Structure 1
Amino acid sequence: MSPSLGASGTGLAVANPWALVPSLGNLDAYISAVNRLPMLSPEEEQTYARKLRDHNDLEAAGKLVLSHLRLVVSVSRKYLGYGLPHGDLIQEGNIGLMKAVKRFDPDQGVRLVSYALHWIKAEIHEYILKNWRMVKVATTKAQRKLFFNLRSMKQGFKDEEDAQTHRETLTDAQIEVMARELNVKREEVIEMETRMAGGDVLLDPAPGDDGEEAFGPIAYLSDASHEPTAVLAAQERDVMATDGIAAALEQLDARSRRIVEERWLKVNDDGSGGMTLHELAAEYGVSAERIRQIESAAMKKMKKALVAYA
């Protein structure tokens, strides 16, 4: 859709001002169209701004926005180095522009272009910080300021270096310069540089890698201990280790029970276990082999009791 201008000078004689903007999908056509939209004179800007403020005139708001779309395109170009789509940057900048138009006070004595710059940049900054990395690299206001200034200064250092001595990391001298000029601690510069240098990691296995050995970091990052089935299984084991064992021991005669307790359940203060086969054999006046047979029969009886208890 090509833009069409009205005959009233710099005014936009259309019922729907957004009809001047081409449909989505062709960024070059959009940029070409907004660059042909006329700028408003100071008098026209004041008139439309008062109509919007005093009468909530949406047509006036549309004309204020349309006349500044080229500003958003210009500002967005400065952020192409972050690897994000230009169309998305423009879209976020347009949101900032509309916020600025809504809040603009014509009696403050400044042009809308100066007032809107802050809002346009703020929305673009927010978009970059949310999308440049899956994990946010800057969360506080101070970190956001450091993020954008650090990247700009680092690029300046790279431009000054010879191609043969090009470095990806900052030198100690460069860190000191940045910390001094940005009025932050040296450690803060190093921390932000580390965050910016780190890349995103694919948590799931790579697409197409469906072999038995295929796995990604998600396989060992997940905490299975809180998975519902694991929790239920752990609870069942706890019950079996206490109430279940107690119920199974009740099925044994006194001698068999004591042998099992001495051999498997007793722990002394020094960490050692209970009596040995030979010690129990001497106590009961039988052979060690007989104690082993009694122990084996008792264990089989306990297993059946545990199965029934479960």
Structure 2
Amino acid sequence: MSNQALTLQNSVASAISNPGALGTIESYISAVNRIPMLTPEREQQLGETLQEKGDLNAARELIMSHLRLVVSISRQYLGYGLPHADLIQEGNIGLMKAVKRFDVTRGVRLVSFAVHWIKAEIHEYIIRNWRLVKVATTKAQRKLFFNLRSMRPDGQTLTPEHIEGIASKLNVRPEDVSEMEVRLTGRDMSLESQDDDSDDFAPISYLSDEGEQEPGTVLDRRAHDDMQGTGVSNALAVLDPRSRRIIEARWLQDEGGGSTLHELADEFGVSAERIRQIESAALKKMRGAFAA
């Protein structure tokens, strides 16, 4: 390799993770297009060296010679409105993964093997960043996302016939096509007005739940509910059967008033004062269980 080619590779290598580092994206593309392509024999030699010795210089040369492939593939995704430099950066990551897994013994050129990995990384980037809310999470949705735009008539709403045809070609359900069409033609909306002085009726004004309280209050209420449920059950468990019966009869009746001291005195054959003493001792014991 000539000194000029080596210098060019060194400058591009430092810009792989940030294509704009060479000044402009056009400068980066111009630089990678000047890197010499590998002959089949040289690619075979580098692949064997990488496999057998883990030689990073071999990996580096394989990556550099295929950066133009990433640029070419990334251009296919400019219609999603994402920065070209970012698409290239993600594609470069896919290329590096492809080189790491490249097996020369299979008799396949790296260019054919790398296309899948480059597209996969770019697809992931688009799915993560095209909208605030993900529009494609399943395999079928991803297939629709990356094919529906090119298959739908320009500027026209999909008719039932179009939907059926696309569903048949992509082997998905017609309702999946309709749902993705709505997602693709929709747009993100800010919850709050972009202008502090605007009287626009922003979604935040009508999407808030007036019946709900602030988080601290909600948590306190949940803790109180837990205390009334599990907490009371645990506290009752520390009482003897008679004390538990008195507490339940006096304080834990779902309907109507609790039993009187005299009613419980008749039930247990003791005085009302004795029932009051048992009740007082039981409540003290339960408070100790709540505090534990």
Q: Normalization by structure 1: what TM-score?
A: 0.64
Q: Which amino acid aligns with 1:176?
A: E
Q: Which amino acid aligns with 2:186?
A: G
Go from structure 1 to structure 2 and tell me whether the alpha carbon gap of 1:53 and 1:172 turns closer, same or farther (over 3 Å shift).
same
Distance 2:223 2:144 in 1: 53
CA RMSD in angstroms comes to 2.9
- 1:283-307 CA-partner distances (Å, limit 9, x unpaired): xxxxxxxxxxxxxxxxxxxxxxxxx
Go from structure 1 to structure 2 and tell me whether the alpha carbon gap of 1:50 and 1:222 turns closer, same or farther (over 3 Å shift).
farther
1:35: how far off? 0.7
Specify the alignment match of 1:231 in structure 2: 218
Aligned length: 220
**Which shifted more, 121-130 or 197-206?**
197-206
Question: Within the alignment, does 1:86 sit opposite 2:90 as a pair?
Answer: no
Distance 1:63 1:76 in 2: 21
Distance 1:121 1:80 in 2: 13
Match runs of 1:213-292 below 5 Å: 216-222=202-208, 225=212, 227-231=214-218
Q: Which amino acid aligns with 1:172?
A: P
From 163, 183, 199, the equivalent of 2:187 is 199
From 169, 191, 209, the equivalent of 2:196 is 209
Q: Which amino acid aligns with 1:6?
A: S
Specify the alignment match of 1:19 in structure 2: 11
**Which shifted more, 112-121 or 43-52?**
43-52
Specify the alignment match of 1:257 in structure 2: none
1:209: how far off? 1.8
1:236: how far off? 12
From 118, 125, 128, the equivalent of 1:127 is 125
Specify the alignment match of 1:248 in structure 2: none
Specify the alignment match of 2:2 in structure 1: 6
Cα pair 1:17 1:59 within 8 Å, conserved: no
Cα pair 2:9 2:35 within 8 Å, conserved: no
- 1:52-89 CA-partner distances (Å, limit 9, x unpaired): 12111111111000000000000000111111111111
Go from structure 1 to structure 2 and tell me whether the alpha carbon gap of 1:218 and 1:57 turns closer, same or farther (over 3 Å shift).
farther
Q: Normalization by structure 2: what TM-score?
A: 0.67
Cα pair 1:146 1:182 within 8 Å, conserved: yes
Distance 2:56 2:222 in 1: 63
Distance 2:160 2:113 in 1: 39
Task: Specify every segment of 5 or more residues in structure 2 that has no aligned partner in the other structure, as ranges.
Answer: 16-20, 226-255, 257-292
Cα pair 1:82 1:132 within 8 Å, conserved: yes
Q: Aligned to 1:79, what secondary structure does the other structure show?
A: helix
From 149, 159, 164, the equivalent of 1:171 is 159
1:100: how far off? 0.3
Cα pair 1:153 1:178 within 8 Å, conserved: yes
Q: Aligned to 2:166, what secondary structure does the other structure show?
A: helix
- 1:204-240 CA-partner distances (Å, limit 9, x unpaired): 320x4246x57743455455736334337868999xx
1:39: how far off? 0.4
Q: Which amino acid aligns with 1:98?
A: M
Distance 2:204 2:93 in 1: 36
Distance 2:173 2:201 in 1: 40
Go from structure 1 to structure 2 and tell me whether the alpha carbon gap of 1:49 and 1:221 turns closer, same or farther (over 3 Å shift).
farther
1:198: how far off? 1.4
Specify the alignment match of 2:144 in structure 1: 146
Q: Which amino acid aligns with 1:217?
A: P
Task: Specify every segment of 5 or more residues in structure 1 that has no aligned partner in the other structure, as ranges.
Answer: 159-165, 239-267, 269-310
Cα pair 1:76 1:90 within 8 Å, conserved: yes
Percentage of identical aligned residues: 59
Go from structure 1 to structure 2 and tell me whether the alpha carbon gap of 1:235 and 1:20 turns closer, same or farther (over 3 Å shift).
closer
